[in-house]
């Protein structure tokens, strides 16, 4: 019985790790949010803030998760190019379905310690702020930058924020800046310039902010978590496609959405 449970935990850890790794690189999907939904965020933050104590408690849990994360991250880096070249619209709706499917679990998690007016205020303010920011960057400023070493370092900083702040839509922001495709291609090909700039930015950001985020979630749990919900809602709304070539494409979009939703729903039931 114990062996079966251990094997089940390994398989579940691999799957969740792969989805979190994929969520770290997929447009509009937050690996940090999936980390929260699957129950790995608090143990991960304990490892980052108190490595010796955290590793002694959770290393068995995180071995399959770490393996799955690496496979998911680099695997999805390759898969993204295929999906988006086949149909950017259908791929986007698949990701939206996955996000929406995780929302009930995320909302339940946010309400574990109550939902007072500060929590609802945080949700509203973060949703409006994130939505306005993404809209401005993508539609008003239409910012485009030329990728180089320092911009890839900036990408690493954003990715670090996406790890320690659940709901941070790193990929969506990089898409708005015109850096996303360059970065994912560099990562999938293990480009030396990209990796030597991106990794230090990511590691430094995680090291500097992990204690702060751990404190916020420990001391102000309802407010911090409802802020995450607001960020997720806004970032999801902002990537919804609005143009379709016909009824067939609209039906395909609906099928992709429900496919992503079903995957998230089944994973929630397994969890």
SS (HEC) of 25-64: CCCCCCHHHHHHHCCCHHHHHHHHHCHHHHHHHHHHHHHH
Q: pLDDT value at position 220?
A: 86
> Which residues fall within 8 angstroms of residue 259, CB to CB, at 6 or more apart?
94, 97
Distance CA 21, CA 79 (A): 13
pLDDT tens per residue across all 271 residues of the chain: 556 667 777 777 888 888 778 777 765 566 666 777 677 877 887 777 778 888 888 787 788 888 888 888 877 777 766 776 677 788 778 878 877 887 887 788 788 888 889 999 999 998 899 888 877 776 776 666 678 889 899 988 988 887 777 656 677 667 767 787 788 778 878 889 889 998 899 888 888 888 787 788 778 888 988 888 888 788 778 778 888 888 888 898 899 899 888 877 776 665 5
Q: What is the pLDDT of residue 168?
A: 64
Neighbours of 242 (CB within 10 A): 4
Residue 208: per-residue pLDDT: 84
pLDDT of residue 143: 62
In this structure, what token pair is assigned to residue 181? 């495709």
**What per-residue confidence (pLDDT) applies to 166?**
66
Which residue in 127, 152, 137, 118 sits closest to 221, CA to CA? 118
């Amino acid at each position: 019985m114990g062996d079966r449970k251990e094997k089940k935990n390994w398989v579940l850890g691999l799957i969740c790790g792969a989805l979190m790794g994929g969520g770290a690189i997929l447009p509009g999907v937050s690996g940090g949010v999936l980390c929260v939904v699957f129950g790995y965020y608090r143990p991960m933050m304990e490892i980052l803030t108190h490595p010796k104590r955290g590793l002694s408690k959770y290393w068995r849990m995180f071995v399959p998760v770490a393996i799955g994360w690496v496979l998911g991250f680099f695997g999805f880096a390759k898969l993204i190019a295929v999906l988006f070249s086949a149909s950017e619209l259908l791929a986007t709706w698949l990701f939206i379905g996955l996000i929406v499917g995780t929302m009930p679990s995320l909302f339940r998690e946010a309400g574990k310690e109550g939902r007072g007016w500060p929590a609802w205020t945080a949700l509203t303010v973060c949703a409006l702020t994130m939505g306005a920011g993404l809209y401005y960057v993508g539609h008003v400023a239409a910012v485009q930058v030329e990728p180089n070493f320092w911009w890839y370092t900036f990408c690493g900083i954003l990715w670090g924020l996406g790890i320690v702040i659940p709901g941070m839509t790193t990929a969506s922001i990089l898409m708005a800046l015109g850096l996303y495709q360059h970065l994912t291609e560099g990562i999938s090909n293990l480009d030396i310039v990209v990796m030597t700039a991106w990794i230090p930015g990511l590691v430094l950001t995680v090291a500097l902010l992990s204690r702060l985020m751990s404190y916020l979630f420990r001391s102000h749990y309802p407010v911090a978590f409802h802020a995450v919900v607001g960020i997720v809602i806004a970032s999801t709304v902002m990537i919804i496609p609005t143009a379709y070539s016909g009824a067939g494409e609209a039906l395909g979009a609906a099928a992709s959405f429900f496919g992503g939703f079903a995957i998230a729903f089944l994973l929630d039931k397994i969890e």
